Every structure is written in C-alpha cells, then in structure tokens.
C-alpha cells in the first residue's frame, strides 16, 4: 500500500509531500483545474515504476529531480518479499523506493537506501502498484496485447514462461541441426581444404619467432663482405704496431712509477688499457672468424622466408597465427569424422522436443480457452454494472496447431483478439473498429477490476478513467471504483464530480505564481472545501447555490436528478 509520496524539483513542483497513511483501503481522489499539475504526479509514479526519465522533467535552474514513495509490505506479499530477499534488502514491513533524475538524463534508483538497478525497481513496483493510464486504454486497441491480458487474467504467465523456455531450446536445437546438416553437405569440400592447409603447415613446421631470427641472419650475410674487410683491417693495424709496443710501454711506466709515485695512477691506467686492447684483439678475431662466408646459406634463408611468407598470406599475419590455424584444422578434421554421430544425436533430441513443444502449446491453448470463457462471463457481469446492460464481450482465439505452420512462437500458437458490441442485436467486432473513448475507458476499468481481484497488488491508480463519459455511465463508473476500493487502495485522478464525491480522501492540485514562478501545490480538502471543489467541477469557475447544493447532495450519497439550468 502506498503510504507516502514525495516529489522535489519536478516540472512545476518545487517540493511536495502526499500522506496517505490515514486512509488505508478506500478511494483517494485528486482533482484540480486542467494544467494544475495532476499529470506531474502521475508522471512521478511512472518514473518510480521505471518509466523513461528525461532532463526536461527537472524544474528549471535545478540540478536534479527526486521522486520517493513509501510502501507498506504486509506479510504474505511473497513476490515483494522474495525480490527484497534476493537482493539482501532488509525491510520492517516497509519499502522506500527513490529515483533521482540528473540533468544529464541519467537516473539512480534506491530501495531502502540501497543502490539498485532499474530492472529491479520495475519488477518491484509491478507487485506494489498498478497504474491505469490513458496509455493503458490505448493498449486495448492493440490486438497483439490482448493475449497478455488473457494470460494475466487466467494466471497463465508461469505456464507461458515455461513454454517460452522450452520453445527457445527447441529453436536453438533446430538452428544447430540446420548448421550441422549444412556442414555435412560441405564436409568433403571442407575436408579437402583442411587437409591441404594442415599438410602445408606441417610440412613447413614453422616456429613462432623463426622469421625474425632469419631476417637478422640474412642482414648479416648480405653485409658479410664489408664486415670482413673492416674487421680484417682493424686486426692488421692492431697486430702490426700497437700490440708489439704495448708491453714495452707498460713495463717502462711501471718502472717510472716506482721512481715517482705521482705516475702510479697513469701507470695503472696504461696497464688496464694494455690488457683491454689485448682482449679487444681476441674478441675481434673471434668475430672475424664467425662472419658467414657461405652464400648458399643466404639462398636457403631467402627460400625459407618466402615459404613462411606464403603461409602467413594464407593462414595468419604472424607465425603464431599460422601455427594456431594448423591446430584448429586438425581439431576440425577430427570433428568432421564425428559429424554424422552428432547429427544423429541432435536429431533425436530435437524430435523429442517436437513432442514436448506440441504438447506444451496444446496445453497452453486449452488453458486459454478455459480462461477466455471465464473472462467473457466476468466481463459481461462487470460491463453490465458499468451501464452496458446488453453489451457483448467476446474473446476470439485463432489457433494454428502444429510445428510446420509457421505460426508457433514463444507465446504458443494462439492469436487472441477482444470483440465488443455495446448495442443489442449488433454482432461483436474488434475493439479497434468500434469502441469509442467512453466505451474504452469502461472496458479498461472492467478489465482492471477483474485483474486487481486476482493479484496481490494493493494499490491501484486510475488516471482519468472517466474520459468521455457522463450521466448514468459516470455514476456507474464511480460505483465500480468504490466497489474496488473496498479491498484495495484506489487513487483516482478525475474530472468527474460523481467519482470525487464518493472519495474517502480528497486532494486538490492547484497552481499559483510565487516570486514570478509558477508552482503546483496540493492540499487535503476539509469537508466544506470538498463541497466548493465539487461545485467548481459541476459548474466551472462560477459556483452557484444550485451547484453547491448538488455538491452536498453528491457527498451525502444522494446523487438525485441531473442538475437543471
């Protein structure tokens, strides 16, 4: 049950708090002149239910808008308790849902001060509040939505979901079987391709990184003549003069250092240089000997690199990818050998699912026909109490049994459409072709009343369910809403005095200009204020003694005769 609603910085609302705690089950109405801001309150509830948020809803010069609702969670409301338990959200019989909309258009959702996903909030509010808006009325005109209404009434969503899971498995296996059979048809061609590729790769036996080492070796081979000439000349110079004189220089400096300690540092450096030069000569000689002189090796390298390059063009940009391609080719060849067995296994599994899907769709269709008969009878009764005493409401089910008709889908093989006739003697026709605005409002009200009695949702909100009706029809709608409010909390945004008169609590939405800015406000009406508001609803801006008297009569529960001019 909705206990409290708080709105900040949303459209014309600066700060607003609605307290429903004193009313419990019963009818609460919101009235006010057109444009006063009633739709903002409904939009706030839609936002809380996970509806699309936009920066345009934020009050100008503010950074964010906040919508918060406090719901009671009575014991036994298992769906809500399960959702909260799954998210490890504690509650003491209450649930606070808050949404913050930023100027960027992004939103954050909280449940009992825990940051949660929009999906969780949407699922949670589905079990806490049922909003019937003008958009919902239009859904009755969309034939493909009628199946959803029927399954909701018949409490068939569990069966429908189980069938949808089965259907998806069946479709997945059908796709897998199709791919396997296509692979079977292409098996020999594919086997030849894989065998050839694997043969090429295995014959070459590439090693990752091999090409880089060969590139380096080829560079050395191409430069071997120049390297031989340079290192040979350096060796000749070292061996001709320098190496002969170095021992003499070292010996003389050591003797000089023994005579003058000031030369000891230079003597040490010369000794080190002598040893270093001798070591350099040995290293240079070793390098000279290692320089490749075999031009045949260069040809071998070029041939090998050309072979590796050809493999890379076909099977991967790097040798690592070429090796991986060979490994996959070997695995796929092995899989091709077992393809026949896999096709047999999948075919057997798919055939078994054929029977399950057929049986599941048939059972779902059978349950829908039973639910359709119950819905027709229940709607006839509801519509009779809404000033449609001789109307006809039918649920037409068009089924296409079998798996080869192309009609089966995740919801089964049924197509459902609601048919209606408001006039005796006229055959029922599709709603989209014959229902007027007033008829549509009453049809939706009848449907909502039926569904509300079957689910655990305590709070039902109607947005202008009175659209397009008046007179006895309006009084019938009022009675139906009051009847529903005996076991539910019903909040109704209305323009009809007949509905507002029978409310247990009455809020009025108004707007005014404060400091140059338009602001919407809401107030709880005292008994005499209710009389004046109903008089306004009856006669427009000008209240007369007659409208005031009639307003008192309505509140007293004596609607009486139509107001005379």
Query: pLDDT tens digits for 39-84?
Result: 888 888 888 888 887 788 888 888 899 999 999 887 777 778 888 8
**Distance of alpha carbon 16 from alpha carbon 554, whole angstroms:** 29
Q: Which of 278, 293, 317 is the last residue of a domain?
A: 317
Q: Domain for residue 271, yes or no?
A: yes
Q: Domain for residue 258, yes or no?
A: yes
Residues with Cβ < 8 Å from 79, sequence gap 6 or more?
127, 456
Residue for token digits 């000439």?
229
On the CB side of 142, how many CA atoms lie within 13 Å of its CA?
Answer: 9
Q: Domain for residue 334, yes or no?
A: no
**Cα dihedral sign, 341-344-347-351:** negative
Let me know whether 516 and 553 are in one domain: no
Let me know whether 3 and 127 are in one domain: yes
The pLDDT value given to residue 23: 66
**Distance of alpha carbon 231 from alpha carbon 207, whole angstroms:** 33
Let me know whether 503 and 540 are in one domain: no
The pLDDT value given to residue 562: 35
Let me know whether 510 and 559 are in one domain: no
**Distance of alpha carbon 227 from alpha carbon 213, whole angstroms:** 19
Asked whether 382 and 444 are in contact (CB, 8 A), the reply is no
- The vertex-151 CA angle with 145 and 155, nearest 5°, equals 150
Query: How, if at all, do strands 414-421 and 392-399 pair?
Result: antiparallel
Q: Which of 317, 332, 347 is the last residue of a domain?
A: 317
Total tally of structural domains belonging to the chain = 3
The domain in which residue 284 lies consists of 209-317
Let me know whether 305 and 233 are in one domain: yes
Residue 506 belongs to what H/E stretch?
Answer: strand 505-514
* Residue ranges for the chain with pLDDT beneath 70: 23-24, 134-136, 241-243, 435, 456, 467-468, 541, 558-565
Let me know whether 229 and 306 are in one domain: yes
Let me know whether 519 and 530 are in one domain: no
Asked whether 89 and 111 are in contact (CB, 8 A), the reply is yes
Q: Domain for residue 387, yes or no?
A: no
Residue 396 belongs to what H/E stretch?
Answer: strand 392-399
Let me know whether 116 and 235 are in one domain: no
Let me know whether 85 and 34 are in one domain: yes
Query: How, if at all, do strands 505-514 and 414-421 pair?
Result: unpaired
The pLDDT value given to residue 563: 33
The pLDDT value given to residue 241: 67
Asked whether 271 and 252 are in contact (CB, 8 A), the reply is no
Helix axes 319-337 and 295-315, enclosed angle (nearest 10)? 50
Let me know whether 126 and 29 are in one domain: yes
**Distance of alpha carbon 266 from alpha carbon 249, whole angstroms:** 12
DSSP letter for each residue of 245-265: HHHHHHHHHHHHHHH-GGGHH
Q: Domain for residue 184, yes or no?
A: no
Q: Domain for residue 6, yes or no?
A: yes
**Cα dihedral sign, 446-448-449-455:** positive
Let me know whether 98 and 227 are in one domain: no
**Cα dihedral sign, 179-181-186-187:** positive
Q: Domain for residue 247, yes or no?
A: yes
Let me know whether 508 and 536 are in one domain: no
**Distance of alpha carbon 11 from alpha carbon 263, whole angstroms:** 95
Terminal Cα-to-Cα distance of the chain (whole angstroms) = 42
Residues with Cβ < 8 Å from 287, sequence gap 6 or more?
231
Kindly state the DSSP code that residue 241 receives in the 8-state scheme: I
Would you mind telling me the total number of residues written for the chain in this entry? 565
CATH classification at residue 25? 3.40.50.300
**pTM metric for this prediction:** 0.65
Q: Which of 317, 332, 349 is the last residue of a domain?
A: 317
Strand order in the sheet with 114-116: 13-19, 2-10, 64-72, 94-102, 107-111, 114-116
C-alpha 49 chain-centroid distance: 15
Q: Domain for residue 172, yes or no?
A: no
**Distance of alpha carbon 127 from alpha carbon 78, whole angstroms:** 10
């Amino acid at each position: 049950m909705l206990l409290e609603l708080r709105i900040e910085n949303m459209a014309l609302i600066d700060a607003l708090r609605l307290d429903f705690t004193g009313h419990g089950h019963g009818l609460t109405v919101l009235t006010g002149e057109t444009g006063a801001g009633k739709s903002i309150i409904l939009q706030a509830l839609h936002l809380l239910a996970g509806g699309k948020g936009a920066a345009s809803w934020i009050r100008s010069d503010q950074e964010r808008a906040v919508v918060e609702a406090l719901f009671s969670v009575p014991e036994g409301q298992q769906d809500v308790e399960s959702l909260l338990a799954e998210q490890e959200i504690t509650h003491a019989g209450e649930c606070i849902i808050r949404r913050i909309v930023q100027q960027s258009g992004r939103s954050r959702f909280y449940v009992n001060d825990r940051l949660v996903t929009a999906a969780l909030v949407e699922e949670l509010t589905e079990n806490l509040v049922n909003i019937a808006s003008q958009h919902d009325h239009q859904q009755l005109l969309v034939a493909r939505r009628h199946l959803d209404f029927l399954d909701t009434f018949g409490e068939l969503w569990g069966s429908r979901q189980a069938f949808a899971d089965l259907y998806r498995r069946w479709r997945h296996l059908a796709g897998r079987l199709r791919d396997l059979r296509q692979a079977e048809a292409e098996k020999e061609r594919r086997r030849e391709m894989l065998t050839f590729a694997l043969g090429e790769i295995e014959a070459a036996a590439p090693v990752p990184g091999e090409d880089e080492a060969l590139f380096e070796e080829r560079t050395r081979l191409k430069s071997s003549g120049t390297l031989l000439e340079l290192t040979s000349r350096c060796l000749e110079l070292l061996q001709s003069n320098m190496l002969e004189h170095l021992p003499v220089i070292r010996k003389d400096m050591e003797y000089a250092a023994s005579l003058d300690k000031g030369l000891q540092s230079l003597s040490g450096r010369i000794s080190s240089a002598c040893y270093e030069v001798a070591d350099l000569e040995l290293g240079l000689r070793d390098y000279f000997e290692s320089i490749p002189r075999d031009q045949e090796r260069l040809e071998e390298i070029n041939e090998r690199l050309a072979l590796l390059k050809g493999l890379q063009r076909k099977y991967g940009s790097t040798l690592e990818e070429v090796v991986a391609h060979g490994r996959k080719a070997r695995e796929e060849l092995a899989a091709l050998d077992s393809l026949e067995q896999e096709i047999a296994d999948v075919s057997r599994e798919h055939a078994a699912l054929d029977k399950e899907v057929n049986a599941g769709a048939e059972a779902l269709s059978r349950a829908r026909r039973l639910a359709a008969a119950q819905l027709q009878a229940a709607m006839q009764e509801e519509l009779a109490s809404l000033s449609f005493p001789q109307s006809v409401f039918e649920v037409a089910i068009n089924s296409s049994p079998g798996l080869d008709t192309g009609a089966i889908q995740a919801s089964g093989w049924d197509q459902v459409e609601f048919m209606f006739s408001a006039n005796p003697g006229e055959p029922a026709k599709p709603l989209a072709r014959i229902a007027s605005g007033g008829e549509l409002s009453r049809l939706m009200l009848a449907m909502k009343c039926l569904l509300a009695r079957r689910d655990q949702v305590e709070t039902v909100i109607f947005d202008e369910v009175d659209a397009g009706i008046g007179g006895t029809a309006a009084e019938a709608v009022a009675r139906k809403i009051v009847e529903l409010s005996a076991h539910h909390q019903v909040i109704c945004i209305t323009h009809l005095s007949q509905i507002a008169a029978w409310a247990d609590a009455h809020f009025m939405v108004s707007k005014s200009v404060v400091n140059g800015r338009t602001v919407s406000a809401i107030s709880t009406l005292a008994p005499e204020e209710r009389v004046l508001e109903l008089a306004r609803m009856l006669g427009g801006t000008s209240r007369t003694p007659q409208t005031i008297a009639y307003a008192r009569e309505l509140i007293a529960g004596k609607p009486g005769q139509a107001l005379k001019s």
